[in-house]
Chains A and B, each alone.
Chain A
Amino acid sequence: MKINAGNLKKGDFILYQNEIWQVQKAEFYAPGKGAALMKTKIWNVKTGKNIDITFKSGEEVKIVEVESRLMVFLYKDNENLYFMDEKTFNQYSVPLTAVSGLEKYLKEGEKLYLSV
């Protein structure tokens, strides 16, 4: 689904330069020169990197549909955390770079909601 950047809001997941990012901050900005803009701070769900991107408010941005699912934490290795959806038994991996140290607080067998 595509929306105008002017409608972006905190929490939206977007596709930007072929990667998935979550909007951390979205503020409308009218600099009084040319068009109105949308200043955003976005967070790369894979690498955990934060960047500032300014969109034209009429620019189309691809929204990534995401849902929250209850998962069980299975284990971790040097690169990823592994989870399982108890309903479907599908396994999911989450790169450690995306969780910025939070893995320390996870215990095997613990259940939590993941956005997929």
Chain B
Amino acid sequence: MKIKVNFSNLKNHQNFLFIIRLIEEFLQKKGYLKIDLPVLSPVLIPESYLEVFETEFRYFDKREKLYLTPSPELFLKRLLVEGVGNCYYLGKSFRNSDPPSSLHSFEFTMLEFYKVKANYMDIADELLEMLRYLNEKVKSDFALKINLNKWEKISVIKAFEKYAGIFEKELFDHQLFLQKARKKGYQVEKFSYEEVWSQIYVSEIEPHLGKNGYPTLIYDYPKEFAALAKLNPDGKTAQRFEFYINGIELGDCYTELADWKEQEERFLKEDKQRKKLGKINHPIDKGFIQALKYGLPSCAGIAIGVERLAMVFLGFDSIDKLKAIDIIL
């Protein structure tokens, strides 16, 4: 890997920082409290679909493992339990094993904000207001291409039916789903429901999202894809949405799961899966479960990739364009 200086990106980089300032301005006007947080933690929330960075703290002859946080969730939820109220973190997060690409960087700026006494659809309203706020202030060509007066809302069930011809019955039954995928020409042998589902989602659903003149909000994912989200009464889907502009996923929101027993079970399952996949074996954040036992207020939160959001607003096709200094392969 090497360091790349992109001095010609300096102006874009300043625009990126301007967008960050606008985001903070909006959230603070709305009464969200800014919190700065550690990026190194001795424990993490186990999430099977991502890999983490591992490092070590050394003092005298002692060694202690530390991990770069892939999200600030473990810290913010502790503060929510303590009664911090509406709050946000805007800063670096880290995800290992994702080679750099036009939409990915292993080190990136994440915005995560939580609203109490709210569910995921309340966040959707707040988010749309934030997008409008950014758009008014940035005044880019982007404004001409998309109307931010409303969401195009579509459920995951409806999207699979509409864009992939996969019906509700097939979507939730793992065996039926894999049969259908095989018929459609996907390789399913040796792959799990989650893997094939993800492939079809990216191949057949995503390209349509955020392309009908409005940003798209796609909601209610199968429970397999929501390790920390509250389930819907149907027992099959979780209260999670993602939002898209021009086919690009920009953020992920859910109504937070407050049931500690359920959360503990999901943690153990995710941890087992991580071990099976040979991922870095980090300690589980047991304090997080303890905090939930104490009582997480009903709340919803969203994580947004700030580089991606800025990229879309500034009309670029890659997050590289925002960086004055980049680490490349």
Contact = CB atoms under 8 A, between A and B. Distances in A.
Interface of A: 17, 27-37, 39, 52-56, 58-60
Contacts of B192: 34-35
B95 A30 contact: yes
A31 B104 CA distance: 10
A54 B194 contact: no
Given A17-B185, A56-B191, A31 B198 contact: yes
B198 A28 contact: no
Given A27-B101, A27-B102, A59-B191, A33 B199 contact: no
Given A33-B225, A54-B199, A56-B187, A28 B194 contact: no
A31 B102 CA distance: 13
Contacts of A31: 198, 201-202, 206, 249
Nearest to A55: B199
* Most chain A beta-carbon neighbours within 10 Å: one of B102, B192, B197, B199: B199
Contacts of A32: 49-50, 252
A31 to B, nearest CB: 6
B103 interface: yes
A36 B98 contact: yes
Contacts of B98: 28, 30, 36
Given A39-B202, A54-B202, A59-B187, A33 B104 contact: no
B221 interface: yes
A97 B197 CA distance: 35
A55 B196 CA distance: 9
Interface of B: 49-50, 95, 97-99, 101-104, 185, 187, 190-192, 194-199, 201-203, 206-207, 221, 224-225, 249, 252
A18 B249 CA distance: 32
Nearest to A17: B185
Contacts of A55: 199
Nearest to A5: B187
A71 B192 CA distance: 47
A53 B203 contact: yes
A34 B195 contact: yes
Nearest to B221: A33
A36 B95 CA distance: 12
B237 to A, nearest CB: 13
B259 to A, nearest CB: 22
